[in-house]
Amino acid sequence: MSDNPEHVDPAQAQRERLLADVAALPGLPGVYRYFDAQGGVLYVGKARDLKKRVSSYFQKQHGGTRIGHMITKIVRMETTVVRSEAEALLLENNLIKTLNPRYNILFRDDKSYPYLKITGTSNSPSASSASRFPRMVYYRGPVDQRHHYFGPYPSAWAVKESIQLLQKVFRLRTCEDTVFNNRSRPCLLHQIKRCSGPCVALISPDDYARDVANAERFLQGDQQQVMDTLQAQMMAHADALQFEQAAEIRNQLGALSRVLHQQAVEDNTGAATRDADILAVKVHGGRACVNLAMVRGGRHLGDRPFFPVHVDDATTLGAESATDDAGKTVSSPEALVLEAFIAQHYLDGGVPPLLVLSHPVDKALIDALTAHAGVKVTAQHQPRDARRAWLDMCIKGADLRLAQLLAEEGSQQARTRALLDVLEIDAEALDTFRIECFDISHTAGEATQASCVVFENHKMRSAQYRRYNIEGITGGDDYAAMRQVLMRRYGKLAAQVAKRVEELEDTLHEDMVIAKPELRLPDLVLVDGGRGQVSMAREVFEELGLDLGLIIGVEKGEGRKVGLEELVFADGREKVTLAKDSAALMLVAQIRDEAHRFAITGMRAKRASVRTGGSKLEDIDGVGPKKRARLLQRFGGVRGVASASVDDLLTVEGISKDLAEAIYRALH
């Protein structure tokens, strides 16, 4: 017994320390972070006045709301004082991206936008003839200052459409340098008037350079200047009685006019607004969509949807805490989502001078963008004329994309429920139901790989996919391969489960070791195969002491036809044959096919690496099959190529100085 008659509740003492920390906060701008008992970050926020903002969470009775649930989990708080609200915005954005807090609105950080690239010219004596005629190409990756890039574009389709447009008007080449250097007659693109044929000298370098310059000016938004220049050239040819050349330019002008008329929305209000992003947000059913449309050079290039996570939690939290500083009006969920997107998407750079918005956002956020980007950024949420048309299109797109998402999620949820009904599994944990599926792939026993794909919360979780290189088995022994991958996947996890059971038997201590979420035991294990593969999986699970009821094999039906699959159970239950139109069968087939695709792509990549090591070379522009073969023969494989210097690479037939440097950069 304790000598102290008063029993102190540790949780109560912890709560009192937290409230004391809140009371001691300064009334300065800054960022605050809430942590739970396991050290996980619950929420990151910014405030003009830390004391007022943070105190508001603990002064109200939140009941059973989401914010109330979060507050009960807070055991520790950290704050950082900064000089201004703009600095607080920057720090908040960095912390959200780094920590992925549970109650913040989070967007996937994916800025890998495609660009349209026009290659630079080279006047070096050792340069190939192709380098004197710039090439127009789709591009995604790091920027090389020697070339010209236009964009970003919202999608690959938008880039390819622009390339087709420019081919019709300016007839720039798109072929690789290896093709260009080995042409002896014009290709099909020249015959259908999509290329001027520089590979066989059907156009002079000066005329081709003029077409390149006009294409670049067009992409920069100087459409009228391009039209005026072409008009002047046509009249000059006509005055010089060069009627064939004048007719060519006349046709070019006609094509350009048709292109401009086909452009859905165009802004001619001035050069300052030729580049703009249009942002529309829609929140419904606990989900949200931010639709981003891009305007570059006055041309509308299309849109791209973004779907944030934790919308319900974060918008509830934001709505209940948005009135703390100076009694400001509560922000709508749409405005909160839009502000989160703008902060996470643009504070790292790449913001255009104009943002056209479906909802007004905090002016401090736009000021922070301006200060951080070094250029004046203007936000407009009630535009007129062409910008109004842009915004209406973007809003309609957000509505359609969110409706599509909700319909797909509803359909996927119905499939999950149907599978649970077939398997007679309690659907209480429907939203957390987890399936892992395995498949084996090889070519005649070569480059054997196993894949594991994960289905959870009604969708495929590609970030949790894993590939396993299978070694030490007889080539083509799928059963041994399945045994190896299951042992590697669940061996360590089974030991963790056994340890937890042992701890439970000894004590009811709460601070037990918990497996990582991606390694937790699934609710269902699918193996692509019939009784043989299921028997092997059963042996592994018996050896590891795991539940046999988790294992299900997907056996091909009569004639191995799609839609006739049967489910085979490891625990002795009778086979289950699903109807062709069964939602459960659709889900099983979807997961099985994804496992097969993932295994096949991994096996092919491994096989190519094992055989030639040339896969890295295949990704380099200008290195075709012949040059790749010469490089591999000269240096004895891709490792030899990688260890070669630029001067060594120049000794290979057909390798120019520029190409040698490109190969060296790509392999280093």
Question: What does the block give as tokens for 286?
Answer: 């606990």
Q: Do domains 271-404 and 427-609 have the same CATH topology?
A: yes
What pLDDT shows up at residue 270?
45
Confirm or reject CATH 2.30.110.10 for domain 427-609, answering yes or no: no
Residue 48, helix vs strand vs coil: coil
Residue identified by tokens 């949820």 is 413
Residue 466 CA to residue 468 CA, distance in Å, equals 7
- Predicted pLDDT of residue 463: 86
10 Å CB burial of residue 255 (0-12, 13-18, 19+) is middle
- 271-404 has CATH 3.30.420 classification: yes
Per-residue DSSP letter, 182: T
pLDDT attached to residue 325: 45
Tokens for 638, please give them. 């891709």
Strand partners, 287: 284
Q: Residue 262 burial (CB < 10 Å; 0-12/13-18/19+)?
A: exposed
Give the containing element (helix H, strand E) for 44: strand 41-47
Quick one: which of 293, 166, 265 has its CA closest to 220?
A: 166
C-beta neighbour count of 179 within 10 angstroms: 15
Tracing tokens 């490089």 back to the chain, one arrives at 631
Q: Is 465 buried (19+), middle (13-18) or exposed (0-12) by CB count in 10 A?
A: middle
Strand partners, 350: none
> b/e map of 193-228 (b: 16 or more CB within 10 Å)?
ebbbbbbeeebeeeebebbbebbbebbbbbbeebbe
Q: How far is CA 206 from the centre of its chain?
A: 41
Per the DSSP assignment, residues forming a β-bridge with 47 are 30
The DSSP annotation for 453-486 comes to EEEETTEE-GGG-EEEE--SS-TT-HHHHHHHHH
What is the C-alpha separation between 101 and 41, in angstroms, rounded?
5
Rounded CA separation 374/371 (Å): 5
Neighbours of 145 (CB within 10 A): 7
Q: Are 528 and 554 in contact (CB under 8 A)?
A: yes
**Among all chains, which residue has been given the structure tokens 């300064």?**
26
**Tens digit of pLDDT for each residue in 68-88?**
778 888 989 999 999 888 888
Burial of residue 647 (number of CB atoms within 10 Å: 0-12, 13-18, 19+): exposed
| Three-state SS sequence of 268-328 | CCCHHHCCEEEEEEEEECCEEEEEEEEEECCEEEEEEEECCECHHHHHHHHHHHCCCCCCC
Q: Is the dihedral of CA 37, 40, 45, 46 positive or negative?
A: positive
Tell me what pLDDT residue 566 has.
84
Running DSSP on this structure, what letter comes out for residue 135?
A: B
Supply 209's token pair: 């350079």
Closest C-alpha among 297, 345, 279 to residue 97:
345
Cis peptide before 152 (omega within 30 of 0): yes
| Angle, alpha carbons 642-646-649 (nearest 5°) | 70
Segments of the chain with pLDDT less than 70: 1-9, 62-66, 108-111, 122-128, 252, 255-273, 313, 315-330, 427-428, 444-445, 497-519, 557-564, 603-616, 636
Strand pairing report for 524-528 and 551-555: parallel
Fold of 612-667: DNA polymerase; domain 1 (1.10.150)
Report the Cα 581 to chain-centroid distance in Å.
32
Can you name the residues that pair with 149 across neighbouring β-strands? 117
Report the 10 Å Cβ neighbour count for 648.
16
pLDDT in tens, 581-626: 788 888 998 899 899 888 888 766 665 554 444 446 777 878 887 8
Strands 354-357 and 446-456: unpaired
Q: What does the alpha-carbon distance between residue 653 and residue 630 come to, in Å, rounded to a whole number?
A: 8
* pLDDT the model gives residue 166: 84
pLDDT of residue 285: 80
The residues facing 438 across adjacent strands are 452, 527
Q: Which superfamily does 10-99 belong to? A: GIY-YIG endonuclease (3.40.1440.10)
Res 614: pLDDT: 43
Task: Tell me how far apart the alpha carbons of residues 355 and 272 are, in angstroms, rounded to a whole number.
Answer: 12
Domain ranges of the chain: 10-99, 115-221, 271-404, 427-609, 612-667
pLDDT value for 397: 92
Q: Which residues contact 254 (CB under 8 A, 6 or more apart)?
A: none
SS3 labels along 237-272: HHHCCCHHHHHHHHHHHHHHHHHHHHCCCECCCCHH
